[in-house]
Amino acid sequence: MRRVAIIGAGQTPYGDFPGLGVKELFAMAFKEMLESVDKGIDPREIQQAYIGSLSAGSGFQLGQLAPLLMGHVGLPNVPAVRVENACASGGFALYNAINAVASGQCDIALAAGVEKMRDVSSTKAKYWLGISGDTEFERLAGLTFAGIYAIIARRYMEEYGLTREQLAKVAVKNHYHGKMNPKAQFRQEITVETVLKGAPVADPFTVWDCSPTSDGAAVVLLCSEDRVKEFTDHPVFIIGYGIGSDYLALQDRDSITSFKATRQASARAYRMAGITPKEIDFAEVHDCFTIAEILAYGDLGFGEKGEVIRLLEEGETYLGGRLPVNVSGGLKSKGHPIGATGCGQAYEVFNQLRGRAKNPERQIKNAEVGLSHNVGGSGGTAAVFIYRREG
Amino acid sequence: MRRVAIIGAGQTPYGDFPGLGVKELFAMAFKEMLESVDKGIDPREIQQAYIGSLSAGSGFQLGQLAPLLMGHVGLPNVPAVRVENACASGGFALYNAINAVASGQCDIALAAGVEKMRDVSSTKAKYWLGISGDTEFERLAGLTFAGIYAIIARRYMEEYGLTREQLAKVAVKNHYHGKMNPKAQFRQEITVETVLKGAPVADPFTVWDCSPTSDGAAVVLLCSEDRVKEFTDHPVFIIGYGIGSDYLALQDRDSITSFKATRQASARAYRMAGITPKEIDFAEVHDCFTIAEILAYGDLGFGEKGEVIRLLEEGETYLGGRLPVNVSGGLKSKGHPIGATGCGQAYEVFNQLRGRAKNPERQIKNAEVGLSHNVGGSGGTAAVFIYRREG
């Protein structure tokens, strides 16, 4: 199989854009992607497109979104397909695009994600997000995703002595990072007290434990190893990648304080890359709720379950620490436009590895290997990617 | 890249199954697939799953359907993803699954499709099918897919002298074939008169020009060349495959009497297989409406546009003819459970090539090379596969 590199990436700011539909959001990210290709690229070089989206605006254009978007940027005849695994749709779009290049079906493929969530009320948004849980055993019983993750958080607190304050520190860290990211939805610092005093959502969560609903799009351009030099001398290679799945309903799982899908996806990615978690310089992980980042630390092998709380307590996952996590602000502060998230993570890793985090204060220094981690729903699916800069 | 073969396939009957949900339909097709593997297979050998579905029952479980279904057949930890391109969702699931094996990400992958359409009124079904047209320029203007294809048919009649009776002959042929297929939804022969006297749907179509709404599922099991012998001595190799896209809205296209997406997909598949259309022994093509089969003849290179009407007039595309098309009954008579259709076509080709069409009267004799052709919506996307039996 052929090695695959990222040669360009673009991302809209995440947030509330009443004047922009999915087409405009996609075009904005697409334009930045083109401009990021060091030696330039004729868009007609793009041979295939894989686009992640859960529901493209709560029902606006559920079917065949991918060719619709490619048509809008003037590339109607680039074969395009939508890939959907809830909040991991972007990660799985990236996965399938890599396979298309690795298998030799094409040399240059686009992976992207887009979601338009702010054009409906949050009640409606909650409803359509619920379609990604187990409908029979969770959604129809009235469980929202905040409720599902709150159950997980309570259990984790019980089993590992995680405190409410420690949980809040995930949000505090990610808002600290997000404040520096000009593309983040929330650019304000918060304190543990802010989190604890926030409006209750699902015990133990307040609104500050939850990622927002967001509009946004992200685009990543992939190239086969043999053609990379035509477009850049600073490619970022995807040296390992893996996917995993599990039962959707929590009740069916062996454990609810760990996501088996993440463990499997990361084990595959580490094996393919031939490295251990210790060699990861920084990571973008799926913190849809504060507890999710704590789960990710353990499931990605950053430390033992329970013991990983230390990473946060001791500042290791802050920018400047041993293993910065979610320097973008994460889903919590940067925003979480469902289908876009997985490719938006790749955008951040790509720019950090190339020393182009834009705002110098948020640039991770001397990083060579990055990781991104995208979760579908409450752990029904996961995709993990390991990146290394070469040049 | 590695060569990929089909080693097993299963399909539910297509039709109206009020007692069966998407899980049960998928499990039924999955079971037949397992039983079709000549030397048997432990289901735990399956390493990845790609599942096509447009909306899994008009909104029942739109998100993360793929892991839900795999959990239901006892394989919750097989990484699974949903692939969506409207009526071509199954074909694109198959495409992505082949790439996963060809790229070396796994040796054994499942491609499947499922749709549950008969639990809503046909008005509702029409509405949610409409999400796959161009929402802004077609759906919101009131165009249904029958309307879109009727416009195409009128234009074709005008440009190439296709008569209303000739159009009807597509339905007559496919019902003739479907009558012999125990899994077809409509097993009755019809005449040109039946078609012409049917209830009007969208001029020139009557209800007999339109494929039905259907419940159904289909499953195909893929294996890398090096492991085929463990499972069968009669594999069917996928020797060529390709995909294509176009603008969703008819108004944006160069021509509406040809689908560029099909032309591109088939050109790629023929090139990869190293063969010409003349070497195809039989084909399953996307006849969602009668005119669609006429378009397919031209776009797949079976003859020149306009001139292809002759294929039907002279009986060449009937079972026993030079190039039998839709011996399964096609979408028209076998049924069209959106997401399942592309994999159901592969199921038919697989069985025909292995001499196992079940009902001997419908077995194509001495066929070596088959083709399947799956279209998304009104030609926004297309996927084409070329198969050859080896052994």
Region A113-120 average pLDDT: 89
CA distance A270 to chain B (A): 14
Region A204-232 average pLDDT: 97
Residue where the block lists tokens 């590199």: A5
Cβ distance B64 to A100 less than 8 Å, yes or no, reads no
Region A347-370 average pLDDT: 96
Residue A177 touches chain B, beta carbons under 8 Å? no
CA distance A101 to chain B (A): 8
| Residue B81 parent element (H or E) | strand B80-84
CA distance A81 to chain B (A): 6
Cβ distance A67 to B135 less than 8 Å, yes or no, reads no
Cβ distance B131 to A54 less than 8 Å, yes or no, reads no
CB contacts, 8 Å: B238 with chain A: none
**For B61-80, how does the pLDDT look when each residue is reduced to its tens digit (9 = 90+)?**
678 999 999 999 999 999 99
Taking the C-alpha atoms of residue B389 and residue A63, their distance in angstroms, rounded to an integer, is 34
User: Among A19-23, A65-69, A126-130, B15-19, which is the least confidently predicted range?
Assistant: A126-130
**For B205-235, how does the pLDDT look when each residue is reduced to its tens digit (9 = 90+)?**
999 999 999 999 999 999 999 999 999 999 9
Residue B122 has a pLDDT of 72
Cβ distance B99 to A96 less than 8 Å, yes or no, reads yes
CB contacts, 8 Å: A81 with chain B: 83-85, 92, 95-96, 243, 381
**For A78-88, how does the pLDDT look when each residue is reduced to its tens digit (9 = 90+)?**
999 999 999 99
CB contacts, 8 Å: A376 with chain B: 63-64, 67
Of B80, B95, B248, the CB nearest to A71: B248
Amino acid type, A163: T
Burial of A272 (0-12, 13-18, 19+ CB in 10 A): middle
Residue B125 has a pLDDT of 73
Is CATH 3.10.20.30 the classification given to domain B134-212+237-389?
Answer: no
Looking at A87, A223, A288, A343, which residue is catalytic?
A: A87
Is the pLDDT score of B368 beyond 80? yes
Residue A82 has a pLDDT of 95
Is the pLDDT score of A246 beyond 90? yes
Is the pLDDT score of B264 beyond 90? yes
Is the pLDDT score of A216 beyond 90? yes
| Average pLDDT, rounded, for chain B | 95
Residue A60 has a pLDDT of 62
Residue A56 has a pLDDT of 65
CA distance B56 to chain A (A): 11
Residue B33, Cβ neighbours under 10 Å: how many?
A: 26
Share of chain B above pLDDT 90, in %: 87
Residue B112 has a pLDDT of 98
Cβ distance A95 to B77 less than 8 Å, yes or no, reads no
- Chain B nearest-CA residue for A72: B247
Residue B132 has a pLDDT of 80
| Average pLDDT, rounded, for chain A | 95
DSSP character for A279? G
- Chain A nearest-CA residue for B265: A79
Is the pLDDT score of A360 beyond 60? yes
Taking the C-alpha atoms of residue A307 and residue A285, their distance in angstroms, rounded to an integer, is 18
For the record, the structure tokens of A56 come out as 């493209």
In chain A, residues 83-102 whose CB comes closer than 8 Å to chain B? 83-86, 92, 95-96, 98-100, 102
Task: Determine whether A336 is an active site residue.
Answer: yes
Of B48, B252, B377, the CB nearest to A63: B377
Of A62, A64, A261, the CB nearest to B248: A64
Which ranges in chain B belong to alpha helices (H)?
22-36, 65-72, 89-102, 122-129, 145-160, 164-178, 192-197, 260-273, 290-299, 309-313, 330-334, 341-353
**For A135-179, how does the pLDDT look when each residue is reduced to its tens digit (9 = 90+)?**
888 888 888 999 999 999 999 999 999 999 999 999 999 999 999
CB contacts, 8 Å: A82 with chain B: 83-85
Helices and strands in chain B, H and E counts: 12, 11
CATH assignment of A142-211+239-389, among 3.40.47.10, 2.40.50.140, 1.20.1250.20, 1.10.760.10: 3.40.47.10
For an interface test with B, the pick among A4, A48, A83, A84 (most B C-beta atoms closer than 10 Å) comes out as: A84
In chain B, residues 108-167 whose CB comes closer than 8 Å to chain A? 128-129, 131-135
- Give the CATH class of A4-120+213-236: alpha beta
- Chain B nearest-CA residue for A1: B103
| Chain-centre distance for alpha carbon A313 | 24
Is the pLDDT score of B367 beyond 70? yes
CB A25 within 8 A of CB A217: yes
Domain residue extents for chain B: 4-120+213-235, 134-212+237-389
Residue where the block lists tokens 């990361």: A266
DSSP character for A234? S
Is the pLDDT score of B118 beyond 90? no
Taking the C-alpha atoms of residue A170 and residue A290, their distance in angstroms, rounded to an integer, is 6
The CA-based dihedral angle spanning residues A30, A35, A40, A46, taken in that order and rounded to the nearest 10 degrees? -10
Cβ distance A246 to B77 less than 8 Å, yes or no, reads yes
Of B64, B100, B252, the CB nearest to A86: B64
Is the pLDDT score of A131 beyond 90? no
**Nearest Cα residue to A347 out of A382, A385, A376, A381:** A385
Cβ distance B79 to A55 less than 8 Å, yes or no, reads no
**For B308-325, how does the pLDDT look when each residue is reduced to its tens digit (9 = 90+)?**
889 999 999 999 999 999
Region A36-58 average pLDDT: 91
Is the pLDDT score of B137 beyond 90? no
CB contacts, 8 Å: B381 with chain A: 64, 66-67, 79-81
Residue where the block lists tokens 């096609």: B330
Task: Determine whether A288 is an active site residue.
Answer: no
Of B55, B104, B260, the CB nearest to A62: B55
Give the model's confidence band at B203: pLDDT under 50 very low, under 70 low, under 90 confident, else very high.
Answer: very high
Region A243-257 average pLDDT: 96
In chain A, residues 42-81 whose CB comes closer than 8 Å to chain B? 48, 54-55, 59-64, 66-68, 70-71, 76-81
Q: Are A4-120+213-236 and A142-211+239-389 in the same CATH fold?
A: yes
For the record, the structure tokens of A16 come out as 């509330």
Taking the C-alpha atoms of residue B57 and residue B24, their distance in angstroms, rounded to an integer, is 13
CA distance to A198, A213, A327, per residue, from A57 (Å): 28, 11, 28
**For B141-153, how does the pLDDT look when each residue is reduced to its tens digit (9 = 90+)?**
888 999 999 999 9
Of B48, B64, B78, the CB nearest to A85: B64
Of A59, A68, A80, the CB nearest to B134: A68
| Chain-centre distance for alpha carbon B18 | 23
CB contacts, 8 Å: B79 with chain A: 242-245, 261, 264-265, 381
Residue A133 has a pLDDT of 82
CA distance B223 to chain A (A): 14
Looking at B175, B336, B343, B373, which residue is catalytic?
A: B336
Residue B307 has a pLDDT of 84
Residue A139 has a pLDDT of 83
Residue B234 has a pLDDT of 98
For the record, the structure tokens of A164 come out as 């409410």
Region B92-99 average pLDDT: 98
Give the model's confidence band at B346: pLDDT under 50 very low, under 70 low, under 90 confident, else very high.
Answer: very high
Residue B333, Cβ neighbours under 10 Å: how many?
A: 30
Give the model's confidence band at B60: pLDDT under 50 very low, under 70 low, under 90 confident, else very high.
Answer: low
What is the CATH T-level fold of the domain B4-120+213-235, as seen in this structure? Peroxisomal Thiolase; Chain A, domain 1 (3.40.47)
Is the pLDDT score of B117 beyond 60? yes
In chain A, residues 329-358 whose CB comes closer than 8 Å to chain B? none
Of A66, A135, A381, the CB nearest to B81: A381
Chain A to chain B Cβ contacts (< 8 Å): 203
Longest dimension (CA), chain B: 56
**Nearest Cα residue to B236 out of B125, B380, B349:** B349
Residue A59 has a pLDDT of 53
**For B166-187, how does the pLDDT look when each residue is reduced to its tens digit (9 = 90+)?**
999 999 999 999 999 999 999 9
Is the pLDDT score of A58 beyond 60? no
Q: Who's near B158: CB < 8 A, 6+ residues apart?
A: none
**For B228-256, how does the pLDDT look when each residue is reduced to its tens digit (9 = 90+)?**
999 999 999 999 999 999 999 999 999 99
